[in-house]
Amino acid sequence: MSEPMIELRGVSKSYNGRAVVGDLTLAVPRGALCVLLGPSGCGKSTTLRMINRLVPCDGGTIRIDGEDALRPPVEALRRRIGYVIQSTGLFPHWRVDDNIATVPRLLHWPEPRVRARVHELLEMLRLDPRIYAGKYPHQLSGGEQQRVGVARALAADPELLLMDEPFAAVDPVTRDALQAEIARIHEATGKTIVFVTHDIAEALRLATMIAVMDRGRVVQSGTPLDIVERPASDFVRDFVGVQGLGLKLLAVRRVRDRLQTGEQADGEPIDAGATLAEALAAMVARRVGRLAVAEGDGRVVGAIALGDLVR
């Protein structure tokens, strides 16, 4: 196996003598979208912030791409890491284009290259540059501000993207669109992303890997399917089950209601009239996170993924 992109070993952090992260170990493969999932207060944000050294850890080692992340000057480290938070952190008196250009300008990119990059990112986040480049943050909706926050984090093409509950404060429809955007960007750029959330549906939708946290430790890590199918403890089972899978709903909703029209997947298609519970059972039996979907006449009409079950 190739070296993990991020490796935390025995990492700990206490505040006022109370351990909020204790002996935490986690390896994130290159190109993964790793979701740190767990209840509020379990230490997800603190863990994320130790990776970019916004919070100094008390003990343990953190390696990024095989290198000790605790030694180099913090500016050099942060240049390699994009960071997105719930309250965007945009500079209120700067236009959208200047906000996005922050890091490239700190790195003294030539101005034409900065402008080209800003343009490219606005288009990637589906914000028309002619409309948005010159606006100020307060002139944008919450969802648009988050898009700008993501564009800014990606501006200097960091190797890693850390996202701390980035979509928690936006309405469900906007959140859905932003999640789709992150999935697309992850697929297009292959960047390693660590994403913090307490929302199981969001985790199942986005993650290639989930690390479930409880009281400052990782209690289980694996693919979304592993976590749903084989919870390692009662805590994980309760957290995943109670929170959201909504097993009763799964039994009444149809694949047709959640299908991604025109998308593709390998393997034998499932019938669009099947229940979501049947789709979940098929995913578990075949150990895949996606199924092709066909109508009764055998015509393949799209695909359904694990995350679609809980949307």
β-strand pairing of 67-68 with 59-64: antiparallel
User: Is residue 62 close enough to count as binding ligand ADP by CB under 6 A?
Assistant: no
Out of 8, 20, 194, 245, the only residue in the binding site for ligand ADP (CB under 6 A) is 20
Q: Does 179 bind ligand ADP (CB under 6 A)?
A: no
* 290 is a contact residue toward ligand ADP (CB under 6 A): no
The alpha carbon torsion through 50, 51, 53, 54 (nearest 10 deg) reads -70
Please identify which residue in 28, 42, 77, 276 interacts with ligand ADP, judged by CB under 6 A. Answer: 42
Q: Does 15 bind ligand ADP (CB under 6 A)?
A: yes
Contact stretch for ligand ADP (CB under 6 A) within 35-43, 99-107, 108-116, 143-151: 35-43
Please, what is the minimum distance in Å from the beta carbon of residue 268 to ligand ADP?
40
Q: Which stretch binds ligand ADP (CB under 6 A): 38-46, 94-102, 111-119, 185-193?
A: 38-46
Cα gap 129→27, rounded to integer Å = 38
Which of 14, 139 has the CB closer to ligand ADP?
14
Closer residue to ligand ADP, CB minimum distance, 40 or 261: 40
Residue number, 15 or 91, with CB nearest to ligand ADP: 15
Report residue 258 CA to chain centroid gap: 21
d(CA 20, CA 150): 28
192 near ligand ADP, judged by CB under 6 A: no
CB nearer ligand ADP, residue 196 or residue 306: 196
Task: Compute the C-alpha angle 35/36/40, nearest 5°.
Answer: 135
Task: Report the amino acid identity of residue 299.
Answer: R
Sign of the C-alpha dihedral computed for residues 83, 86, 91 and 95 taken in this order: positive
For residue 17, state whether it binds ligand ADP (rule: CB under 6 A).
no
Choosing from 22, 35, 45, 175, the residue that interacts with ligand ADP (CB under 6 A) is 45
CB of 204 closer than 8 Å to CB of 306: yes
With b for 16 or more beta-carbon neighbours within 10 A and e for fewer, the 261-278 pattern comes to eebebeeebbbbebbbbb
Q: Which residues bind ligand ADP (CB under 6 A)?
A: 15, 20, 38, 40-46
